[in-house]
Amino acid sequence: MAKILKLPLSDNNSNNYDNKTFYNNCNYYEKNYLHTNESLMNITLEEAYNLYISSKSAILSPSTIYNYEKYKRNYFQDIMNMPLYQINNYIIQNSVNEFCKDYSPKTVRNAFGLLHAVLFNYYPELNLTITLPQKIKPVYTIPVTSEIKTLIRFADERIKLPILLASQGGLRRSEISALKITDFTNKGVYINKAVVSDGNRNYIVKSTKTLAGTRFVPLTQSVIAEAKDYEFFGISPAQISKAYRKLFVKVDLEHYFSFHKLRHYFASQLHAKGLKDKYIAEIGGWSSVAIMQNIYEHTLRDELSRAEKEITEIFDEIFN
User: Residue 257 phi/psi, 5° resolution?
Assistant: -140, 145
- pLDDT of 10 > 50? The answer is no
Q: What is the mean pLDDT of residues 117-121?
A: 95
- Its sign, for the CA torsion 145, 148, 153, 158, is negative
Domain 145-306, CATH among 2.60.120.260, 3.30.565.10, 1.10.443.10, 3.30.470.20: 1.10.443.10
Distances (CA, A) of 245 to 151, 236, 241, 242, 316: 11, 14, 6, 5, 44
Per-residue pLDDT at 1: 47
| Strand-pair category, 215-218 with 4-6 | unpaired
Domain ranges of the chain: 18-122, 145-306
150 vs 274, which has greater pLDDT? 150
Half-sphere exposure of 211 (CA within 13 A, CB side): 1
Per-residue pLDDT at 192: 92
Say if domain 18-122 classifies as CATH 3.10.620. no
CA angle 150, 253, 243 (to 5 degrees): 65
Q: Grade residue 171 by pLDDT with cuts at 50, 70 and 90.
A: very high
Cβ partners under 8 Å of residue 117, min gap 6: 52
Write down the mean pLDDT value for the chain: 83
113 vs 296, which has greater pLDDT? 113
CA pair distance 188, 254, nearest whole angstrom: 32
Per-residue pLDDT at 12: 42
Q: Grade residue 297 by pLDDT with cuts at 50, 70 and 90.
A: low
pTM here? 0.67
pLDDT in tens, 249-266: 999 888 889 999 999 889
Q: Each residue of 17-44: b (16+ CB within 10 Å) or e?
A: beeeebeeebeebeeebeeeeeebbebb
Q: What is the mean pLDDT of residues 204-209?
A: 76
Strands (DSSP E) contained in 211-282 are 215-218
Q: What is the mean pLDDT of residues 20-31?
A: 51
pLDDT in tens, 139-170: 667 888 999 999 999 999 999 999 999 999 99
